[in-house]
Amino acid sequence: MLDVDDTLTNNNANGHDVETEDWLNVFAELDKDFEEIDKEIEAKEVDHSIGDWEFISQLLETFNLMNSSLNLTAVLEHVIDAAISVIQAERGFLMLMNSEGGLEFTIARDSNKNSLTDREFQLSNTFLQQAVNEKRIAYIEDALTDRNYLPTQSVQSLKLRSILCCPMLAKGDIIGVIYADSPKPLIGRSKVKSQLFQIFADQAAVAIRNAQLYQRLKNSFDKLQNAHESLIFAEKMAARGKMAARIGHELNNLLAGIYGNLELSIKCLEEEKPQSEGLYRLRKVAGLLENISRFSQGLMSNSHIETRLVKTNLNDLIQEFLDFSKPVYQKTGATFEEAFDPNLPDIEIDKGQIHQILYNLVTNAIEVKPNTHVTITTKYISAHRHILIKVSDTGPGIDSEKLKQIFKPLFTEKAGGHGYGLSICQEIAKKHGGRIFVSSKVGFGTEFTVVFPVFDKSKKENPGTVLKKTMD
């Protein structure tokens, strides 16, 4: 580069005047120097612009990543890693507001994404409070020489020069602070980078708050789910307890009757009373034992005991039941009527279990109204190959609310009833591919309809799909 003063000095020393040509040469050299200076300035401006665009690009990528997860731990890790990466810091940490309104150390990492402890950071409270109180970035370019900042031991030992503390704002409220430091300058004196990093911090605040809200909702849902499962378990245990109590009560009543009648039978024999009286007591015992057997069979039927199927005509089965039951039931004043469809085809059933259905339906009707009139009818629906057994009575009827629960276990309106009769009947019907329906009108009586499908073994059929059509 040409030195003008030297040129003038040399010319004066030789005693010559500066010629016009010499001045032109001087100015030409100066023009070249100015051109080089302009190029250097332009290059620096271009580099600065490129740096800002790279900074913006990194921030945009970070925004997308921050909002891609609702896992709080993952979001916190990404925020601090992104903050360190974007401004090329050596290390950094996050502090979040706790429920008491104070800042609490949350997570710390270095540029290699290694976790650090809070013991590795010594931060000036004044510097931290400056960022919080002013709600803007507090930045020191050279902490070792800045007169307004007293370097801590860690700053001196790590030779940290650049320190940044940025508040994270969500709708104007501070939810935390990002701290970062490095031996090299972080954002320099670039206002653009400072403003962009504040935008980053505010976006991080939104991502963190969303993750916190999601975490609270998830915790609440998990607690609700656990409470629901505990409630179901408690209900099951309560149901088992009720079941055990009902079964025990029922069996105790039956066993008490057996014991009493056996005792009286023995007494009759000892006192040599008429044989008929002893036989009467023994028949009572036999009847009570039959009740126990029937009760236990009902419980077994509800416990997936294998069903033994035999090809049977339901008209014949119902007639057998009536021949056996009428003499007993008629003592209560009950009357019977039957109407059988002669076109009923034979089907495969468990005769004992179908007897149990009939016994429960008829017994329930007579227990509610001893002098009721019971009608049992059968009908074959050839269009759908289904057999219907209808058991109706002239009792008081059942209101609609009770009808909704009538097949539920433990539901009973009878004093001393165990509440399993109708639920077991429904299970038996389902085991045969059928179902039981009920209709009732208060003051006029109740009708139960048992539906059984007539299976065609040559075809693969699902009889349950046509049950509703059959009822219609």
Question: What is the overall mean pLDDT for the chain?
Answer: 75
Pairing type for strands 347-349 and 310-312 reads: antiparallel
pTM for this one?
A: 0.41
Burial 443-464 (b: 16+ CB within 10 A, else e): eebbbbbbbbbbeeeeeeeebe
**Residue 295 has what pLDDT?**
63
Contact yes or no for 212/170 (Cβ under 8 A):
no
Q: Give the residue with greater pLDDT, 131 vs 409.
A: 131
**Residue 464 has what pLDDT?**
47
Give me the DSSP letters along 397-451: ---HHHHTTTTSTT---STT--S-HHHHHHHHHHHTT-EEEEEEETTTEEEEEEE
**Residue 402 has what pLDDT?**
85
Tens-place pLDDT, residues 80-117: 988 888 888 889 999 998 888 888 889 999 999 999 88
Cα atoms in the Cβ-side hemisphere of radius 13 Å centred on 133: 6
Which helix (H) or strand (E) segment holds residue 154: the answer is: helix 153-157
Is the alpha carbon torsion for 104, 110, 113, 116 positive or negative?
A: negative
Tens-place pLDDT, residues 261-301: 677 677 777 777 777 777 776 776 776 676 666 666 655 55
CA-CA distance, 149 to 143, in Å (whole number)?
6
**Residue 403 has what pLDDT?**
85
Q: Does residue 413 surpass a pLDDT of 90?
A: no
Contact yes or no for 251/295 (Cβ under 8 A):
yes
Tens-place pLDDT, residues 369-382: 999 999 999 999 98
CA-CA distance, 463 to 339, in Å (whole number)?
25
Tens-place pLDDT, residues 5-59: 444 444 444 444 445 666 566 556 656 655 665 555 444 444 444 345 566 666 6
CA-CA distance, 163 to 185, in Å (whole number)?
8
Burial 214-235 (b: 16+ CB within 10 A, else e): eeeeeeeeeeeeeeeeeeeeee
Tens-place pLDDT, residues 193-210: 888 888 888 888 888 888
**Residue 58 has what pLDDT?**
63
Mean pLDDT of the 238-255 span: 60
